[in-house]
Amino acid sequence: MKIAILTDTHFGARNDSQHFDAYFRKFYDNVFFPYLDKHNIKTVFHLGDVFDRRKYINFATLRSCKNYFFDPLHELNADMWVIPGNHDTYYKNTNEVNSPDLLLQEYSNIHIIDKCKEITFGERDFSFIPWICPENHAESLDFLKRHKGVCLAHFELMGFDMFRGVANEAGMDRELVKHYDMVLTGHFHHRSTDDNVYYLGSPYEMIWTDFEDVRGFHILDTDTLELTFIENPHRIFHKIYYDDRKPIVDASEYKKCCVKVIVVHKTDYQKFDKLIDSLYLNEVIELTIHEDFSEFESEALDSENVNIEDTMTLLSEYVDAVESMKDKERLKTLLKTLYVEAQNLEL
């Protein structure tokens, strides 16, 4: 039996941005549903954070995601099992009030699992674990100890990357789920795996930290436990390394995207202005220009693999150089986290 698995769809992300909603739609219209239809897949698991906002729903967002996701899923006669994530729950201490349960009752093919439950698919036992909160904490840990097979959850596990290079130092100990054949979980948007735990990641980019971080969804074979990744080829974040000694880029490639223009070499101001004008004509959602490269070595600027995350390397090297500092690793993690947050501030 083949099952499609999604997680962290975050309908309504970026303050219910219509641009990002249109970007999400491209994934479902061009990738997700065509794959399900072609391979006759009729079962979907969603591992939490269906919606982005915990407290309310934007009606335009709800109408839109019903149009391109929930309605087509119903028309495909596909059943979806959903566990609430932390973004789906109104209260922080209980999952009792959750948006999937309240907003999706009209769909007979959508099944909300807001309490720990074991269900068999294809002769394989699956443990569904909703977001663990104070109210269900003891019950959830007891359930985990008593069951095995495949675990489906929205875990915050210690030691896994929240973003690339930024590990989570708090949360639940993975030892609690080591007896499962496989643990598939949402919550962290970066895809990663270690031993029997698989963070599946979100299906698309949502913030600048996601730049060039591969996204998509997964197919699980219940007979073999083979997990197949289906990549989402659509990107919304792009960086242009501008060098007027090279041919000007085709701005149409960045239509309705978020773009950072990083100036490597600029002497022909008319040529540069032409690029900026053409980007605006292609309705870029967000355009920022970076011209100060004092933090980079000149040799790095000529490389095709220039990485803006070199800033993190410089911060790390600075911490290492301070001899009087005791807990250097903790400070490095803090600096990396602050750097990530600073990159994604909406000014």
Cβ neighbours of 235 (radius 10 Å): 17
Supply the pLDDT for residue 319.
74
Q: At what angle do helices 328-343 and 310-321 cross, to 10 degrees?
A: 150
pLDDT tens profile 276-294: 999 999 999 999 998 854 5
Quick one: CA dihedral 329, 335, 339, 340, positive or negative? Answer: positive
Q: Could you say which of 3.30.499.10, 2.40.110.10, 1.10.10.10, 3.60.21.10 is the CATH number of the domain covering 2-231?
A: 3.60.21.10
Scored b (16 or more CB within 10 A) or e, 31-53 reads bbbeebeeeebbbbbbbbbbbbb
Mean model confidence pLDDT for the chain: 90
- 71, two tokens: 């309605």
Distance CA 247, CA 25 (A): 33
CB atoms within 10 A of CB 230: 14
Largest Cα separation within the chain, whole Å, is 69
Decide which of 116 and 334 is more confident.
Answer: 116
Pairing relation of β-strands 79-82 and 110-112? parallel
Average pLDDT of 2-30?
Answer: 98
pLDDT(272) > 50 = yes
Ranges 13-17, 112-116, 305-309: which has the least confidence:
305-309
Question: Does residue 300 register a pLDDT over 90?
Answer: no
The residue ranking higher by pLDDT, 171 or 38, is 38
Distance in angstroms (rounded) separating the CA atoms of residues 187 and 48: 7
pLDDT band at 306 (very low <50, low <70, confident <90, very high): very low
Listed ranges 171-180, 243-252, 287-296, 323-332; the one with the highest mean pLDDT: 171-180
Indicate the Cα dihedral angle 307, 27, 124, 138, nearest 10°: 70
> Mind listing the pLDDT tens digit for each residue in 31-47?
999 999 999 999 999 99
Structure tokens at 182: 């496989």
pLDDT for the residue numbered 105: 97
pLDDT at 30: 98
Q: What is the mean pLDDT of residues 183-206?
A: 97
CA angle (127, 5, 183) in 5-degree steps: 40
- Residues of the chain with pLDDT > 70, as a percent, come to 87
In what helix (H) or strand (E) does residue 170 lie, and over which residues does it extend? none
Kindly report the pTM of this predicted structure: 0.84
Q: Predicted confidence band at 14 (pLDDT cuts at 50, 70, 90)? A: very high
Residue ranges of the chain assigned to CATH 3.60.21.10: 2-231
Q: Is the pLDDT of residue 150 over 70?
A: yes
CB 28 within 8 A of CB 11: no
> How large is the average pLDDT for residues 15-22?
97
Q: What is the pLDDT of residue 313?
A: 66
Is the CB of residue 233 less than 8 Å from the CB of residue 31? yes
How many angstroms separate the CA atoms of 251 and 58, rounded? 32
Q: Which residues of 144-178 are buried (b: 16+ CB within 10 A; e: fewer)?
A: beebebbbbbbbbbeebbbbbbbbbeebbebebbe
